[in-house]
Chain A
Amino acid sequence: GAGVSQSPRYKVAKRGQDVALRCDPISGHVSLFWYQQALGQGPEFLTYFQNEAQLDKSGLPSDRFFAERPEGSVSTLKIQRTQQEDSAVYLCASSFGLTGEQYFGPGTRLTVT
């Protein structure tokens, strides 16, 4: 596609619910990254994939967070048993390589009530 797409754009979840956020990267980009952005802060790294391999998940804040990219294209970030502190914008980015320019999708704004 022309750019990175994410869905849903907005998600409201009750505390304790599970959510799944989807990212469709730019066609041909082998690297895919997930970030969390709190209000007034820069994006914080969560995890990244090269093709289907998850090379680093050190930024995931707890074991409630899980990401996958089974076919090396679309990725899903899943948050189990959501908590209020999970409320943030979740950004996905893709790039040709691990250290090159990253292009962001529009983000998913998650609000946990």
Chain B
Amino acid sequence: QKEVEQNSGPLSVPEGAIASLNCTYSDRGSQSFFWYRQYSGKSPELIMFIYSNGDKEDGRFTAQLNKASQYVSLLIRDSQPSDSATYLCAVNTLKDTGRRALTFGSGTRLQVQP
């Protein structure tokens, strides 16, 4: 089982709709969760982070965390074609070294259709 799992997509939504991106993780001790957006040929850009159970809203983005279910999601409201990108979920997980490091999922490709 991968430490951080995401559906690779593509997830296709019409312009103006809500896009829902999901991520599950295996390390119950993880405390920090991040969503990055990556355009083709570019580096990851941090768009949201969440540390506590519940919802966190920032503009059109809402991150949701459920530690009991080991599940974190990202909602994008009023999706725009410019939101079309790969969304990477990242979780601070415990490594074999006993230290924590950021583990990324493989990303979900989002396509917003005009």
Residues from 42 to 70 in A contacting B, C-beta threshold 8 Å: 42-45, 48, 55-56, 58-59
B88 beta carbon closer than 8 Å to chain A: yes
Q: What is the total number of residues of chain A having a CB less than 8 Å from a CB of chain B?
A: 24
Main secondary structure of the interface of A (DSSP, over half): loop
CB-nearest residue of chain A relative to B45? A104
| Contact bitstring B59-101, A, C-beta under 8 A = 1, else 0 | 0000000000000000000000000000010101001110111
Residues of B within 8 A of A71 (CB): none
Question: Within the complex, which residue of A33, A42, A58 is in contact with B88, where a contact is CB–CB below 8 Å?
Answer: A42
The reply to whether A99 and B31 contact each other, CB–CB distance below 8 Å, is yes
- Expressed in whole angstroms, the minimum distance between the Cβ of A34 and any Cβ of chain B is 11
B44 beta carbon closer than 8 Å to chain A: yes
A98 beta carbon closer than 8 Å to chain B: yes
The reply to whether B95 and A56 contact each other, CB–CB distance below 8 Å, is yes
- Expressed in whole angstroms, the minimum distance between the Cβ of B74 and any Cβ of chain A is 15
B17 beta carbon closer than 8 Å to chain A: no
CB-nearest residue of chain A relative to B8? A40
Whether A91 contacts B43 in the complex (CB less than 8 A), given A40-B106, A101-B34, A102-B34, comes out as yes
- Complex Cα distance A58/B97, Å? 7
- Complex Cα distance A105/B44, Å? 8
| Contact bitstring B32-70, A, C-beta under 8 A = 1, else 0 | 101010000011111001000000000000000000000
The reply to whether A45 and B32 contact each other, CB–CB distance below 8 Å, is no
- Expressed in whole angstroms, the minimum distance between the Cβ of A80 and any Cβ of chain B is 23
Interface residues of B (CB under 8 A from A): 4, 31-32, 34, 36, 42-46, 49, 88, 90, 92, 95-97, 99-107
Q: List 23 A-B contacts (CB under 8 A).
A: A33-B101, A40-B106, A41-B106, A41-B107, A42-B4, A42-B90, A42-B105, A42-B107, A44-B104, A56-B95, A56-B99, A91-B43, A91-B44, A98-B100, A99-B32, A101-B46, A102-B34, A102-B102, A103-B46, A104-B36, A104-B44, A104-B45, A106-B42
Interface residues of A (CB under 8 A from B): 33, 40-45, 48, 55-56, 58-59, 89, 91, 98-107
